């Protein structure tokens, strides 16, 4: 579904990272599920032409200045990396933009359990917040959050407010433990903590390391991928990645926008660069 959204707030939550709250129709809030994404038109002109994909950070309804009126909303957490996201950072309260979504296949929440483990790298934490909010209703949730430095580890307090147990690491040691988030995860799993499912989102090398750990430990694992997207709905094949059975003779491609962005880690070939 395509709709016109109005900016409620667009706040820099950490240097170079913004949290954008948009009005959304009630049917969007009802239809959305964790791990799905939206395609946002960041400019009314033809430059940039293509919409930009962003995971759904949160959805809900909020109070307004009128006692009996509630406003459905959609939150996006984004990092400024280029032209489109720089334009997005310039949006203010009351500005409008076109949004297409919710799109794609999100996370499967599975059976309630004590061992739901989330792993997020940098802005890869974005789709994990909405997932955590759903999972904590019935499960105990642990979050492993990593980033280059303290400015890249986002919204940890929000996860903690949900009751999520958090473990933080940074490459430069400016927040939490110094080192890779996957090293902290491995140590945690080695303690026999009874993890039942791993959910991961972040840079491809991090996802590959998480998939290796899941393969070794036999813990089911879902990963959320990023790829360049033009249409977001399975029409242009611009976002394909190699599936696990891919070879020159028998190509096996998956569309990140339609078959994903969330995949079981066993569905994919990890011998590719994204």
Q: Does 53 bind ligand FAD (CB under 6 A)?
A: yes
Partner from ligand FES, ligand FAD, none binding residue 82, C-beta < 5-8 Å depending on class: ligand FAD
**Residue 100 near residue 1, CB atoms below 8 Å:** yes
When the beta carbons of 58 and 259 are compared against ligand FES, the nearer one is: 259
Number of residues this chain uses to bind ligand FAD (CB under 6 A): 21
Q: Does 225 bind ligand FES (CB under 6 A)?
A: no
For the bound state, the minimum distance from the C-beta of residue 131 to ligand FES, rounded and expressed in Å, comes to 22
Q: Is 182 annotated as a binding residue?
A: no
Q: Does 24 bind ligand FES (CB under 6 A)?
A: no
- Residue choice 162, 227, 233, 236 for contact with ligand FAD (CB under 6 A): 227
Partner from ligand FES, ligand FAD, none binding residue 39, C-beta < 5-8 Å depending on class: none
**Rounded Cα gap, residues 8 and 20, in angstroms:** 8
- Residue choice 162, 230, 267, 270 for contact with ligand FES (CB under 6 A): 230
When the beta carbons of 121 and 176 are compared against ligand FAD, the nearer one is: 121
| Residue whose token pair is 């395509």 | 2
Which residues in 173-212 contact ligand FAD (CB under 6 A)?
none
- Residue choice 34, 35, 84, 102 for contact with ligand FAD (CB under 6 A): 84
Which positions lie near ligand FES, rule CB under 6 A?
A: 229-232, 234-239, 255, 257
């Amino acid at each position: 579904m395509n709709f016109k959204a109005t900016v409620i707030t667009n706040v820099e939550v950490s240097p170079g990272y913004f949290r954008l709250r948009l009005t959304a129709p009630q049917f969007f809030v009802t239809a959305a599920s964790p791990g799905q994404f939206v395609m946002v038109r960041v400019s009314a002109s033809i430059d940039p032409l293509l919409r930009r994909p962003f995971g759904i950070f949160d959805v809900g309804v909020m109070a307004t200045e009128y006692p009996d009126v509630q406003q459905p909303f959609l939150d996006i957490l984004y990092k400024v990396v280029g032209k489109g996201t720089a334009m997005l950072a310039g949006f203010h309260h009351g500005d409008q933009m076109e949004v297409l979504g919710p799109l794609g296949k999100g996370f499967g929440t599975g059976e309630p359990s004590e061992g739901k483990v989330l792993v997020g790298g940098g802005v890869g934490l974005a789709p994990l917040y909405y997932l955590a909010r759903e999972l904590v209703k019935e499960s105990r949730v642990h979050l492993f959050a990593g980033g280059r430095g303290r400015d890249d580890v986002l919204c940890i307090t929000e996860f903690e407010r949900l009751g999520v147990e958090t473990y933080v690491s940074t490459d430069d040691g400016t927040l939490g433990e110094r080192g890779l988030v996957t090293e902290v995860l491995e140590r945690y799993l080695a303690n026999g903590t009874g993890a039942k499912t791993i959910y991961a989102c972040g840079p491809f090398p991090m996802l590959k390391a998480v998939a290796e750990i899941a393969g070794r430990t036999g813990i089911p694992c879902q990963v959320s991928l990023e790829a360049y997207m033009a249409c977001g709905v399975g029409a242009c094949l611009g976002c394909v990645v190699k599936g696990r059975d891919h070879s020159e003779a028998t190509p096996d491609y998956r569309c990140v926008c339609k078959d994903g962005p969330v995949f079981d880690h066993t569905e994919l070939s990890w011998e590719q660069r994204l």
